[in-house]
């Protein structure tokens, strides 16, 4: 201990003060990644469905990738500032005795809630499904639309 204080052992001034915290963070990541029952994050499907949210002057457009899911298996709900997409991905059962070599497609229920930056008009929302892409047209509330101001 005394040797370490006087001679800055083991670093001898070569490491930054935050390097010890970085080492501890890596150890904690490794501990929780290897936790029993946890899935390896490198092979997980991630957030499902993936959603892109764009906007123009009058609407937001939410586009979600939902391959293989029928429109009647989806439920879309909206409040003044959120959009919720809920559904179930169904995958056909394999015959008994079948052995998987790779299994990456997950089945089951999912739900995504997207917060919107401004108020919307939930009564005028429309949606369409085409080629596995769900497009939701979300009109902005009148108060949230930009207004042209004339100068006198």
**What pLDDT shows up at residue 43?**
43
3-state helix, strand, coil in the chain (%, to 5): 20, 30, 50
Residue pair 132/66 in contact (Cβ under 8 Å)? The answer is yes
- Distance (Å, rounded) from C-alpha 136 to C-alpha 122? 11
Residue pair 50/134 in contact (Cβ under 8 Å)? The answer is no
**What pLDDT shows up at residue 42?**
43
**What pLDDT shows up at residue 138?**
96
Q: Which CATH class is domain 51-91+107-144?
A: mainly beta
The residue extents of the domains of the chain are 2-33, 51-91+107-144
**Could you give the angle at the alpha carbon of 110 between the alpha carbons of 48 and 137, nearest 5°?**
70
Confidence check: pLDDT of 37 > 70: no
| Overall average pLDDT of the 26-45 stretch | 60
**Residue 40 has what DSSP assignment?**
P
pLDDT tens figures, 53-101: 999 989 999 999 999 888 988 999 999 899 999 998 888 888 888 888 8
pLDDT tens figures, 86-95: 998 888 888 8
């Amino acid at each position: 201990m005394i040797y370490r204080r006087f001679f800055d052992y083991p670093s001898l001034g070569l490491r930054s003060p935050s390097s010890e915290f970085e080492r501890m963070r890596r150890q904690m990541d490794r501990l929780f990644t290897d936790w029993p029952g946890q899935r390896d994050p490198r092979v997980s499907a991630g957030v499902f469905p993936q959603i892109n949210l764009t906007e123009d002057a009058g609407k937001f457009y939410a586009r979600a990738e939902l391959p293989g899911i029928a429109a009647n298996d989806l439920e879309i709900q909206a409040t003044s500032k959120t959009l919720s997409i809920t559904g179930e991905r169904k995958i056909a059962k394999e015959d008994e005795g079948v052995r998987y070599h790779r299994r990456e497609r997950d089945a089951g229920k999912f739900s995504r809630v997207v917060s919107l930056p401004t108020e919307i008009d939930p009564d005028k929302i429309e949606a369409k499904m085409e080629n596995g892409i769900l497009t939701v047209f979300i009109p902005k509330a009148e108060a949230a639309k930009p207004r042209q101001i004339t100068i006198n």
